[in-house]
Amino acid sequence: MHDGGPGNPSTTVAIFTLGTLGDIRPCIALGQGLARQGYTVRIVTSANFAALVQVAGLDFKPISGDFHALLEGHRELAEHGLNPLAVARAFRRQLAIWASDWVDQGRAAIVDAGLLIGVGMATLLAEALAQTRQLPFVQAQLQPLSPSRQLPPMLLAPRWPRMPGTLSLAAYQLLRLAVWQVLRPAIDQRVRIPLGLPPYARRGPYFDRRDGRDRILYGFSEQLLPRPTDWPDDARVTGYWFADAPAWQPPQDLQDFLSAGAKPVYIGFGSMVSAAAESFTATVLAAVRRSGRRAVLATGWGGLQALPQQHDEHVCFIQQAPHDWLLPRVSAAVHHGGAGTTAATARAGIPSVIVPFYGDQPFWAACLTRRGVAPPALRRRNLDAATLAQAIEAAHAPSMQAQATALGQRLRSEDGVATAIDQLRQWGLLARLPQRHAA
């Protein structure tokens, strides 16, 4: 470990992450678990999440990378979101812009750190900073990234859940090369070279077999995605990382609505945005009417839009509400299938109806369908009210409700944060705490 002073290894852990709420919340959960053990935890992410981190009792340091602003300014991405090339082009440009500040911001964030954890798009930044200071580093990922003969890459798995093992491995390598082309301008030109590190070879970092690169904490549950047996031993699936639930007082109109009748359906798309939010919301409301059920609609970052003319006693519009508070109070959830929302709905013991926008969302939708807790994912483009209403009814079938209840019970019995911390200790990555702080 890096020395915080003579004979005093630093007990500060810096977790680097960029993304939407679904990316940040698991990192906060892991950070809170480490803080309960006596470590100082710093979340290094975009400034729009500063308050969320600080309310959780953790230190915060900023790095450029506001995905809310990016999605808000490029709502058309939602219309092309399942086209990986369109998304890759947009992210390649934006990451290179953000990365211009990363070296100075990163140095400020690790000044007293003893362990760096890199998550998602911030992984290679954290790893480069660790190399310059010779600090311990580990990956923590929320999606399956390790190549496998048994599990095709998540961008392909929904359509081809089984493919020949050799073809699956080849697909991983091709996708790794493609991902590196997205990240290369940011990481090589704006991070590694300014830090005095050599740029990676043209094929990128993902084929580097140096010691420790296979060491990954995966923050999802085998209840939803069993660990492939051909993964390296140091790719560990820990279970989901759920944060401590802060006290939350619901607005009176939501409380009154929930008390006024049968459990409603939750419909919300979290951090997603839409260039056609009004028409999409109209379709959703028409589906609710067809289903004959009550519904809570969460507008979130802009995937849905509150339509005052559509207010009636069967619908309640909100901006957002904590998943751990609201989801146990509804009968099913219609959502985008992001990793965080997928975990929250499954843990709440309710079925899902998935309408993916982009990225890993079709993959998690397929995982839920295989577990019998969601009908097949719906295509958002040209979605009609009758199709959505039919899926909502399928989610209320007694067999699916029972499967969801059982899955929720199993997930609530896991402690992914504790498992992750135990694994960090087994790898020797956490500084030994003074005895007075030991849990």
The sheet that has 59-62: what strands, in order across it?
Answer: 59-62, 40-45, 12-16, 115-118, 137-141, 216-218, 235-237
| Token pair for 15 | 């977790």
- At 399 the pLDDT is 98
Mean model confidence pLDDT for the chain: 89
Q: How wide is the angle at C-alpha 194 spanned by C-alphas 192 and 196, nearest 5°?
A: 70
- At 5 the pLDDT is 38
* Residues 183-204 pLDDT 10s: 999 999 999 999 999 999 888 8
Q: Is 216 helix (H, G, I), strand (E, B) or coil?
A: strand
Identify which of 61-75, 141-155, 269-283 has the greatest average pLDDT.
141-155
Cβ-based burial of 23 (10 A; exposed 0-12, middle 13-18, buried ≥19): buried
Integer Cα distance of 103 and 107 in angstroms: 6
Token look-up 């839409």 returns 274
* Residues 288-335 pLDDT 10s: 999 999 999 998 866 787 776 556 789 999 988 999 999 999 999 999
Neighbours of 417 (CB within 10 A): 25
Which residues fall within 8 angstroms of residue 427, CB to CB, at 6 or more apart? 138, 215, 234
Cβ-based burial of 115 (10 A; exposed 0-12, middle 13-18, buried ≥19): buried
* Residues 124-147 pLDDT 10s: 999 999 999 999 999 999 999 999
Structural domains of the chain ordered from first start: 12-240+414-437 (3.40.50.2000), 252-412 (3.40.50.2000)
| Token pair for 33 | 């678990």
